[in-house]
Homo-oligomer: A and B are copies of this chain.
Amino acid sequence: MQKSLSVYDSDGSTFAPLVVIELVSETKEEAIAWLLNRVRDKQQDGGAELLVEQLTPGAQGTEKDNPNVYVVGASWQRLLYGAEDVGLFKEFNDGSMRGFTYANKHNFKEFQGDGDGFLSMAECQYIIKHGLDNLRAKDEAHVPGYPKMKLYPGKSVIRRMQSKGVLVQVFPLHEKEELKRLSFSWFKKIKLSFQPLDDIRHYFGEGMALYFGFLEYFTLALIPMALIGIPYYLFDWEDYDKFTVFAGFNLVWCTVILELWKRLSASLAYGWGTLSRKKAFEEPRPGFHGVLGVNPVTGRAEPLYSNAKRQLRIYLVSVPFVLLCLYLSLYVMMIYFDMEGWALMIHDEEPTFWTGLLLFIPSIIYAVVIEIMNLIYRYAAEFLTGWENHRLESTFQNHLVLKVLVFNFFNCFASLFYIAFVMQDMVLLRQSLATLLITSQILNQIMEAFLPYWLQRRRNKKAHKRMIKTMEDKELPLSEQVKLEADMSTYLGTFDDYLELFLLFGYVSLFSCVYPLAAVLVVLNNVTEVYSDAFKMCKVFKRPFSEPAANIGVWQLAFEAMSVIAVVTNCALIGMSPQVKSYFPESETQLILWVVGFEHFLLASKFILTFVIPDVPKHIQIKLSRLEFESLEALKKRSQAHGR
């Protein structure tokens, strides 16, 4: 914990500030007073029992600064109780991971003295966020001073104020010392080593650490592919029928790495205590609206929205919209092929160096257009999914991911499929693959890390200078630090990062048998991606709240779906190679039947393999069942003691 910064609370004692709440500057006094009261109230009285103080402007404070910035902290006891409430798992004395309970605290391995240092700052911030999110309206009909900001018993106060725009943001503070250490071991020293995943998890939480773990795993898993690909590239450039072996390797590799990742991710999640964590009951997402009714599960008053209406919106609006976009994307693809043909015509008429260069222009333009279309579509998809009015954040995310995935997949790969299977032009396929891959990589790096960084530099040149100072000067006052961080961009989650990996995985697995260098390019990209992602997390964005996660969720499914499509594609490419065709000189039918048979065999093996390889390693399975067994035994004993 950061000792250098502290705030005096109303009793005169100090507390470490963990989370910042920013309200709009013209917020009514009575609303502020009411909110702070609720935050400070005891939990028995329905409060959050947190410590909260207004941020006193620092020396450089100007009148332009928003006065309604509050820092929130909590007593150690409150945090420990909170750790029990949110269901944190910690290492027990016997080396197993157990749900933390306050009563049992001294039996946990890292609990020393009064428990200082037992919870990481990210965990404390998560606990405070949980406390704030669960601050619920009692019998208030609206937020004091705002008659239109309706409340009903059980409604989350923070969420209502946020959705109505009074609450600007709630974000956790960076921890400068820790961040400096993390940055150094993560991306500042150039060396060949694994990422400090445990430290990343310690600072950013499990969701983020799993992303970086997956990125690293994915990169390592690609290295064999890349190594095999280089000699293919160097010696057999035009001899693509030799790639049949390569494609075979590819297929086995895809299935195996995805299965092994599940096991690795289970090991990581077990060590971080998220594997056996029970999911709490999910509250409606902030944007959800509807007629007030009674939730059949909780019995609480809550807005309800008819499922039939939602289905209508999905099937009558969203699905046609997605199809329309797919059609549009197909149309753009056709224009690209026209351009391609036109460039080829010019080059064939009078081939010079410049017309040779011209051949690459359509692909580059197409790649840029694809990126732009993806971006626009992304906003449309978010709007539409929001409009579908899903009750839960998780369903919202699933529908959004599905929409975006389908379009991105189509957009990025349609032209390649067209070239491969309709035009059957392997040279063009290889060339398009290379340009698409390289262009989208460069664009991505720019869009992801450098653009936000540059935008931020422009937005507050003055602040930037202060930020530079932050990096060097540890003794920057709290108010300055809060102001600096409040102006940083907000990190919107790992969605885009996973999407990028997903598309790269597609390039490697779908067509690598015609362009083995793809794996090399992706490895290179991923290495820089680790650095740029790490940089943006540490320097460009506000600290995100840590998100407990036991696996990479819907992305595992997406990657598995891609690997199934890869089997089909690669089998088709193998069937089209002259080498294989030469085995069946007399009958094309025989060839196709053999290829189809082989493909079915591969698909069946894939499913059997997925079924046979256990998702959780044996030693972790044993630990998990021991925990379950003990809780069953405890329950038995308790009911015996209770009843008899």
Contact = CB atoms under 8 A, between A and B. Distances in A.
Interface in A622-644: 622, 625-626, 628-629, 632, 636, 639-640, 642-644
A102 interface: yes
A298 interface: yes
A309 interface: no
A639 B592 contact: no
A588 B644 CA distance: 78
A470 to B, nearest CB: 40
A103 B589 contact: no
Given A84-B643, A85-B636, A622-B296, A629 B281 contact: yes
A101 B639 contact: yes
Contacts of A593: 592
B297 A643 contact: no
A278 B625 CA distance: 13
B296 A642 contact: no
A626 B297 contact: yes
A134 to B, nearest CB: 11
Interface string A569-611: 0000000000000000000110011001000100000000000
Interface centre among A84, A568, A596, A618 (most CB of B within 10 A): A596
A81 interface: yes
Contact of A84 (B588, B618, B639): B639
A280 interface: yes
Interface in A289-339: 296-299, 307
A610 B264 CA distance: 28
Contacts of A642: 103
Interface in A442-493: none
Contacts of A592: 589, 592-593, 596
Nearest to A104: B643
A596 B278 CA distance: 44
Contacts of A307: 618
A281 B635 CA distance: 13
Nearest to A280: B632
Contacts of A589: 588-589, 592
Interface in A495-524: none
Interface in A56-81: 81
B568 A103 contact: no
Contact of A629 (B102, B298, B568, B618): B298
Interface of A is mostly: helix
B588 A102 contact: no
Contact of A643 (B102, B296, B644): B102
A278 B81 CA distance: 29
Nearest to A103: B643
Contacts of A297: 622, 625-626, 629
Nearest to A81: B643
Contacts of A618: 307
Nearest to A102: B643
A84 B642 CA distance: 12
Contacts of A628: 281
A102 B644 CA distance: 10
Nearest to A595: B596
A606 to B, nearest CB: 13
Contacts of A629: 281, 297-298
Contacts of A643: 81, 84, 101-103
A307 B588 CA distance: 48
A636 B103 CA distance: 14
Contacts of A568: 600
Nearest to A300: B629
A278 B639 CA distance: 16
A626 B296 contact: yes
Contacts of A298: 626, 629
Contacts of A640: 43
A85 B280 CA distance: 27
Nearest to A603: B603
Contacts of A622: 296-297
Nearest to A557: B611
A268 to B, nearest CB: 21
Contacts of A632: 278, 280-281
A298 B644 CA distance: 25
Contacts of A636: 85
A86 to B, nearest CB: 11
Contacts of A101: 639, 643
A298 B631 CA distance: 11
Contacts of A600: 568
A612 to B, nearest CB: 11
A634 to B, nearest CB: 12
Contacts of A280: 632
Candidate in A85, A101, A622, A643 with the most chain B CB atoms within 10 angstroms: A643
A625 B644 CA distance: 30
A200 to B, nearest CB: 30
A618 B297 CA distance: 12
A130 to B, nearest CB: 12
A304 to B, nearest CB: 12
Interface in A364-408: none
A138 B103 CA distance: 33
Given A298-B626, A568-B600, 11 more contacts: A81-B644, A101-B643, A102-B643, A103-B643, A278-B632, A281-B625, A281-B632, A297-B626, A299-B626, A589-B589, A592-B593
Ranked 6 nearest A-B pairs via Cβ:
A297-B626, A297-B625, A102-B643, A296-B622, A588-B589, A281-B629
14 contacts: A81-B643, A81-B644, A84-B643, A101-B639, A102-B643, A103-B642, A280-B632, A281-B625, A281-B629, A297-B622, A568-B600, A589-B592, A592-B596, A596-B596
